[in-house]
Structure 1
Amino acid sequence: MLSLFIHITFFDVIDILLFAFVLYKIYMLIKGSLAINIFVGIAIIYILWMAVRAFKMQLLAGLLGQIMGVGMIALVIVFQQEIRRFLLIIGSKYFAVNYRIKLLNLFKSQKKTKPPLNASSIIVALKNLSEKKTGALIVIANKMSLDNYSHIGDTLNANISSRLIEGIFNKESPLHDGAIIIYNNKISSARCILPISDKADLPAHYGTRHRAALGMSEYTDSIIIVVSEENGAISYAFDGKLHYDVSIEDIRKRLEEDFSLI
């Protein structure tokens, strides 16, 4: 037994750590969703398959082997949303947002190409919408392109103003359903449809807008702000987490982390 540890190399340690990291991220992606039960079931079948192979139970091993073979195809189908989300995280969030490489940070001042965000108008609109208990869903694009979502809605390409935002979400407005997307300090589109989070452990008081905000934050690096039409509570979603019933100052601080504000 001791000889096994003696022959472990540096690359073996790296291999184990990377494997553990991937498993952890897969777990975090499907945590709270119905997919976690499927994942556990597949893991149990795999462990059972390895056990019967070790005991040379040929018939059972062959049967479970066939199930595992077909299971790989089933995995892609069942977990297609989670796989897509995982690839999005690898390709954008971790390397472009969450875990910025220090070397790239040296050039941070040179790559600020985003125009300042008119946060003051957004905040005035949020205050008024909250007081009137008017539901709203506002997506503020960060680095990732949101063309797939903005093209579904109605193109506006309008300057940000509190009156326009309040007018869009007025219940009599034909644009009040769905979300508005703000990109490069412009309201690029309205009436946009967002992906709904499939997490199963969300609180009962989360409405459709909250679930849409959370779903959008799971797939993009956007900041999504929600105003509840039930109680006027302001919330925001970012990086797969929903911060419920926050203050206006919390919203401002969150925006300041990624944007220059005006």
Structure 2
Amino acid sequence: MLAFRLGFLDIGWLDLLDIGLVALLIYQIYNLVRGSVASRVFIGYLLVYLAYLLVKALSLNLMTTILEYFISVGALALIIIFQHEIRRFLLLIGKSTNLTNNRWLRRWLLRDFESTESQMPLKPILDTCKTLATEFSGGLLVLQRNDDLEKFAQSGEIIDADLSKPLLLAIFSQYSPLHDGAVLIIGGRIRAARCILPVSDDDELPSSLGFRHRAALGMSEATDAAVIAVSEESGRLSLALNGELFTNLSLQELETRLEQYLNEPHGHPAES
């Protein structure tokens, strides 16, 4: 096995691979908790652990025993405190390793399916968003990409109708019994209305953003769908993609991001 000596250590390529994987894991954890209350808790726990190593090296037996109990209980406390970050991390892994979500693999392994995939018709959606924004009527639209959204459709009223601006405006009318909740657009058709979406618990969201935007972000965290939120108070357009919320978009910016994300083989949200 290829190895080299560093001082009194023998380091092989497997050791370097191990170090690289641990560094990548720590980096991903840092990205998940960065800027949140959880990050400060993590730093505090790390400082306690460093203090434990110090008192153990100094042979302070009583203090070492106390910190040992604290750290053993603290491991369980960390799981509870970081439950949302852990959930987001597992969702990220699940989405990235899902074969049906990998367009590159589908191109090579599922060519027949890829060739029959139809693009999402954006014009009626954009025209609807423009009218809703002009009239200060709230709206929440979920556009399917790859993930199966049927369980979310079952939480609302099944419509299964052709996608059209008049029908979308009728659904989001304040006099419509279906205007609350989200409209799911699956396979280029209006699948369901008044659907219930998962709500994000991101503490970094501005207080000016209400429940509709939290639902849009939560849906984008749980699935790879593109979610459009139209503010009822300001008429501003927002778009949630892969757990990231883009706010105050113009109609042209919204169209560009949707086309890139939904219709291109390797689409991803453009940098803000």
Contact preservation (8 Å) 1:34, 1:199: no
Q: 1:59 aligns with which of 57, 62, 85?
A: 62
Distance 1:163 1:85 in 2: 37
Matched, 1:71 2:74: yes
Task: Say which is worse superposed, 207-216 or 161-170, in terms of deviation.
Answer: 207-216
The one-letter code matched in structure 2 to 1:152 is: S
Contact 1:133-1:231 at 8 Å conserved across structures: yes
1:157–1:89 Cα change, 3 Å:
same
Deviation at residue 107 of structure 1 after TM alignment: 5.0
- CA gap 1:159/1:41 in 2 versus in 1, 3 angstroms: farther
TM-score between the two structures when normalised by the length of structure 1: 0.85
TM-fit CA distance, 1:138: 0.9
3-state DSSP of counterpart to 2:90: helix
Confirm whether residue 240 of structure 1 aligns to residue 243 of structure 2. yes
CA deviations 1:173-223 (Å, max 9, x no partner) are 222222122222222222222233323333343222222222222222111
Instruction: Give aligned pairs, total.
Output: 259
Higher relative contact order (CA 8 A, sep 6+): 1
CA displacement at 1:159 relative to structure 2: 2.2
User: Which residue identity does 1:137 align to in structure 2?
Assistant: L
Contact in 1 for aligned 2:162/2:190 (Cα 8 Å): yes
How far does the alpha carbon of each residue in 1:19-41 deviate from its partner, in whole angstroms, 9 at most, with x for none?
12212222222234332233222
Letter in 1 for 2:219: M
Q: Does residue 1:190 correspond to 2:193, yes or no?
A: yes
CA contact (8 A) 1:97 1:221 kept: no
Matched to 1:210, the amino acid is H
Q: How far does the alpha carbon of each residue in 1:216-259 deviate from its partner, in whole angstroms, 9 at most, with x for none? A: 22222111111111221111011222111212232222232343
Gaps of at least 5 residues in structure 1 are: none
Q: 1:175 & 1:201 partners in 2: Cα distance?
A: 30
1:136 offset after TM fit, Å?
A: 0.8
**How much does 1:128 deviate?**
0.9
TM-score, L = length of structure 2: 0.82
Which residue in 1 is equivalent to 2:42? 39
SS at match of 2:79: helix
Unaligned runs of 5+ in 2: 265-272
Instruction: Flag the 1:105–1:9 CA change in 2: closer, same or farther, 3 A.
Output: farther
